[in-house]
Structure 1
Amino acid sequence: MSANLVIWVPVLLGAVWAAHWGAEHMAEPLKKLRKQWGFSVAAGGAFVGLAAASPEIGINTTSAIRGVSDIGLGALLGSNVLAIPMMVLAAYIATRKQGIGDSGGHEHHEEHRRQHLLQVDRQAATVQAVPYLGIVALFALLTLPAPWRGLQPIDGWILLLGYLAYVAQALLRGRAKGQEVEWERKEKWLAAAGLAALAAGAYFTVFSTEKIVNAIGISKIIGGLFITAPVAALPEVFATWYVARSGQVTSGVTSVIGDHAVTMTLAFIPLTIVGMPIENFQLFWVTLAFVALMPTLYAVFVWWGGRDRGFRRWQILVLPTVYAIFIAVLVFWVQPFGPGAQGSGGAPSTTAASN
C-alpha cells in the first residue's frame, strides 16, 4: 500500500498544479469569447463549466471500460453536492481584495465588499440554476422508479437531449450583439495550452485518486464520494478563483452549474452504454436529494436580496453547513461504511440490463 501511495500522491499533486496553471490562463480568453459572441455573463459560466467537467467525463469513461462504475457514480454525485459550496466560497474569498470589480464597476464592488456581499447577476438563477434542477429531475426520473432503475443506453440519448436543451437556453437567452475584440497569437496559444492543462490535470487528478482509493482498500463508491469528488473539484475551484479575480464574478460562480449540467448528462453517457446498476439504493437517493438541494439553495440565495442580488456572508456559510449535514446523514443514518453496506439500503440491486 505505501509503495502505491508514494507513486500516486506526487502524481496527484502534479495534476492539481497543472490544472491550477491551466485555469489561470483561461480567465481573460473566456471573458473575450463571451463579449465577442454576445452572451450574457450568466451564460458565460457554460464555457468554464464545460472545460471543468472534463475530469468527470474522463473518470466515467475509465470506470465504464474497467467495470468499476461505482467510482464514477460516487465521484459524479459527490462532486455535485460539494462543488457549489466550494465554488461560492472560493469566489467570495477571491473578491475580498480591493480593486476587483464585476460588471457593476470598481465603486460598486467596494461597497459590496464592505457589505460582505458576493454580487451575482440574477440570471444565474433563471438561466443556470433552475434549468439545471430540471436536469436533476430528468436524471431522477430515469434512475429512481423501480421499473427502470439504473441507466441503460436509451437513457444516454435522453440525457444528451437534456444537455443540448440546457445549453441552448443558456446561450440564447439574453444574447446581445457581439463586440469587437482583438486576439494576440500568444494569447490564443496560452488559452489552448491552459484548456489542455486543465483537462489533462483534472483527468490525472481523478485517475491518481482512483489508485489511492484502491491502495487504501475502501469501497469504490465511498472513495468516489469522499476522495475522488473533492480532489476532482479542485481544478474548478482554481478556475472559479481566477475567473472571479479577473472581474467575471457571475461567470466564475455560475461555472459550477455549467459543470454540473455536464456531469449529470454527458458524463453519465459512458455508464449508460455499459449499463449502470444501483447497488445501494438508499445511499443513491439520499445523495441525489442533496444534489437537488444545493442548486435550490443557490437559486434562492441569488434571487433573494432586493436590488443587490447575490450571496450574503451568512448564506455562503449555509452551503458548507448543508454539506456537513449530508455527511452526518450518511454516517449516522445510511451508514455505508460497513462491510455489508454495499448493496444495502432498502431496495434490491438492479441492473440496466434487467430494466
Structure 2
Amino acid sequence: MPLLIWAGVLVIGAFVAHWGADKLSAPLKKVRRQWGLTSVAGGALVGIAAAGSEIGINTISAYRGVSDIGLGMMLGSNIVSVPLIVTTAYFVSRTESLGGGNGENEDSGSNGSTGQSNRLEAGHEQHRQENLLRIGRDAVHVLTVPYLGILALVAILTVPEPVRGLQPLDGVVMGAAYLVYLGQAFMRGRSSPEDVKWKRKEIGLTIAGLVALAAGAYTTVRATEKIVAGLGITRLIGGLFITAIVTALPEIFATRSVVKSGQVTAGTTSVIGDNAVTMTVAFLPLAVVTVPIDNFQLYWVNLTFVAIVAAMFGLLIHVGSVGEHGFERWQVLALDGVYLLYLIVIAFWVL
C-alpha cells in the first residue's frame, strides 16, 4: 500500500483507539464521583482511560516485537501532549462560552443553583478579560510533583549503564509507583461522595470501547511499521514523531469538550494524569518483553524533555497573576516554545 494510504490508516486507527478509550472514561468518572474525589484527584483515575490508547499501542508493539515504536510513542506523546492540551484549553476558554463555571470553582461542590452559576460565569468573564486560563492550585502538588517523581524513578531504572533499558523488574516497580501515585491523589483530593446509578447501556459501551481500543491500537502499530519501513527511518523515530503526534491529536477534541462544559481544571490537568499512566502502566508491557536502548543520546534527551515540559507546566501555573493560579497568554506561548526547542535540539544535535 502507498505511504499516503498507510498514513490515513494510522490516523483512523488512532481515532478508533481514542474512541474506545473515551468509552472507558464515563464509568471511571462515575467511580470518581462515587468515591468522592475532586476533579484534580479524579484526573489521576480518569487518566487510565485517557491513556488507554497508549497502553494498547505499547501492548501491541510489545506483542509484535516492535517495542521501539511503543517506547518512542511513550516518550514523544508525553512531550507533545502538555503544550498541545494547554494551548487547546486556553484557546477554547478564550473563544467559547463555558457551560458551568471555571477551573477555580470546579471542586467547590457546586449544586448548580442559579446564583452560584451566575458567580461562576462572572468569574470566568473576569479571567477571560485577564487572558488567564484559571487552574485549580491542587494541580501542582496532587498531580505534577508526584509525576516528576515518577520520571525520576524511570531515569534511575533505565539510564545507568548497568541497568540501561526496560526490563521486567522495572515494569513491576513502575506498576507499584502508579498505585502509590493513585493513592496519594485519592488521599489528598477528597470531597463528598455522590450516589450514582449504573445503566446496562453504559456497560455495553464499555465493552465496545475495549474492542475498539484493541482494534485501533493494532491498526496504529501496523501502520507505523509500514510507514517507517517506507521512509527508511528507525522505529524509535517513527514512534517519537509519527505515532506520538497522531495519537495526541484526538485529545484536542476531548479537551475542547471537557473545557467547554466548564471543567477547565479537569480538562487541562488530566494530561498529567494521562502521562503518569503512560510512564507507569503503559511502561509495563514494554518492560515485560525487555527493550534495550540502542540510541542512548536520543533516549536521555527525550526523557529530559519529558521532565522539562512537566516541570514547566507546574512552574508556570504558579507564575500567573497575583493570587491566581493558571496560564496567561505568554505562559502558554512559553510552553509551546519548549516543544519548539525540543524539535530544534533533536533535529540539529541528536539526529
Q: Is TM more than 0.5 here?
A: yes
Determine the C-alpha separation between the residues in 2 that align with 1:188 and 1:245.
26
Structure 2 equivalent of residue 79 of structure 1: 77
Q: Is the 8 A contact 2:57 2:220 kept in 1?
A: no
Structure 1 equivalent of residue 37 of structure 2: 39
* Structure 1, gaps ≥5 residues long: 337-355
Structure 2 equivalent of residue 316 of structure 1: 332
Q: CA deviation at 1:325?
A: 0.4
Structure 2 equivalent of residue 102 of structure 1: 102
Q: CA deviation at 1:41?
A: 1.3
* Structure 2, gaps ≥5 residues long: 106-119
Aligned residues: 333
1:69 aligns with 2:67: yes
Does 230-239 or 4-13 show the bigger shift? 4-13
Q: CA-atom RMSD, angstroms? A: 2.5
Find 1:93's aligned residue among 70, 91, 94.
91
Structure 1 equivalent of residue 349 of structure 2: 333
Determine the C-alpha separation between the residues in 2 that align with 1:21 and 1:106.
31
Q: How does 1:222-233 map to 2 (within 5 A)?
A: 222-233=237-248
Letter in 2 for 1:50: I
Kindly tell me: are residues 202 and 11 of structure 1, through their superposed partners in 2, closer, same or farther at Cα, counting changes over 3 Å? same
Structure 2 equivalent of residue 340 of structure 1: none
Structure 2 equivalent of residue 346 of structure 1: none
Find 1:254's aligned residue among 269, 289, 294.
269
Q: How does 1:1-355 map to 2 (within 5 A)?
A: 3-5=1-3, 7-18=5-16, 32-96=30-94, 97-100=96-99, 101-102=101-102, 104=105, 105-181=120-196, 186=201, 189=204, 193=208, 197=212, 200-201=215-216, 204-305=219-320, 306-334=322-350, 336=351
Kindly tell me: are residues 241 and 25 of structure 1, through their superposed partners in 2, closer, same or farther at Cα, counting changes over 3 Å? farther
Determine the C-alpha separation between the residues in 1 that align with 2:56 and 2:26.
26
Determine the C-alpha separation between the residues in 2 that align with 1:281 and 1:244.
38
Q: Is the 8 A contact 1:202 1:232 kept in 2?
A: no
Determine the C-alpha separation between the residues in 2 that align with 1:155 and 1:187.
35
Q: CA deviation at 1:237?
A: 2.7
Letter in 2 for 1:158: V
Q: Deviations over 1:96-138 (max 9, x none)?
A: 2124423532221111112111111111111100000000000
Determine the C-alpha separation between the residues in 1 that align with 2:208 and 2:270.
20
Under a length normalisation based on structure 1, what TM-score does the superposition of the two structures give? 0.84
Q: Deviations over 1:302-329 (max 9, x none)?
A: 2333322111111111111111101111
Determine the C-alpha separation between the residues in 2 that align with 1:210 and 1:183.
40
